[in-house]
Amino acid sequence: MPDQPRRPRTLNDARTEAEAAFKKVTRKEAETLPKKMALPGVKELVSLRIDQDVLEFFQQGGPGWQDRINDALRKAAGK
């Protein structure tokens, strides 16, 4: 049986083959990030939206209202 004549390669064929080969060698596995360790006494600056009446309640005691909110959240978190 005679060999079948080869069909000429087109630009699309070459591009598809090149993209497939590139994907094989450039696939990157997802890295698992190490869990942050909470350092005692280190606080993080965050933006938090709370109701005005709740904010006023904690601010009534004067300075230290942010610490009081933090204590209430810690208690609610069971820590």
Q: Note the pLDDT tens digit of each residue in 4-48.
A: 667 666 667 778 888 888 777 666 677 777 777 777 778 888 899
pTM more than 0.75: no
Burial class (CB in 10 A: 0-12, 13-18, 19+), 55: middle
